Amino acid sequence: MMGEQSREKYDLFNTAELAELYSKHQPPLHEKVIEIVLSATRGRELLLDIGCGSGSSTRPFCAHFTRVVGVDYSPAQIDLARTLSQQCSNVEYQQGSVYELPVPNQSVDCIVGVMIAHFIDLQKFFEEAKRVLKPGGVLLFHGKSSPRVIEIEKRKPNLNVKMKPKALSAS
């Protein structure tokens, strides 16, 4: 949850020097993660990368979606992401909250979150994801283990989350 104590933790990412260091040591997005996103996503209009940092998990999707938007709490990370993504004309970055995503209702084909699930209030975020995802839209979290595709059922009044683990193979 993003209280004042949590904000202090996030501020660790909010200097140009630390953003650069984080970017330098962030591993590239595994090609199997990209394959899972593409196979799970029906539409290819808009992908939203939450907690995008310097854009290392955002840029790989610019060749596959009409528009790609990265959102991060840290202005320093967003500034660096913009610098590193100049070759991707369909990618934009916005400083903001995962609880108030800067896109219209039911406009997103896929939300990707790499190494962010442990930083956020998932229940609060899922409500926002329900708002912005198109019917049939996909949410994928990826951390240190296998990525998880999460289907959010919009038909039911209570949040119903199904997790479908898909393991990365070494091939």
Judged against a pLDDT cut of 90, whether residue 124 lies above it is answered with yes
Q: Which residue has the higher pLDDT, 125 or 166?
A: 125
Please provide the average confidence, as pLDDT, over all residues in the chain: 79
**Among 2, 54, 3, which Cα is nearest to 26's?**
54
Q: Are 145 and 166 in contact (CB under 8 A)?
A: no
Beta-ladder partners of 70: 49, 93
Statement: residue 18 has pLDDT above 60: yes
Do the beta carbons of residue 153 and residue 163 sit within 8 Å?
Answer: no
Helices in 44-121 by DSSP H: which ranges?
A: 75-84
pLDDT digits (tens, 9 = 90+) for 103-115: 999 999 999 998 8
Question: What is the rounded distance in angstroms from the CA atom of residue 132 to the CA atom of residue 130?
Answer: 6
| Cβ contact 90:114 at 8 Å | no
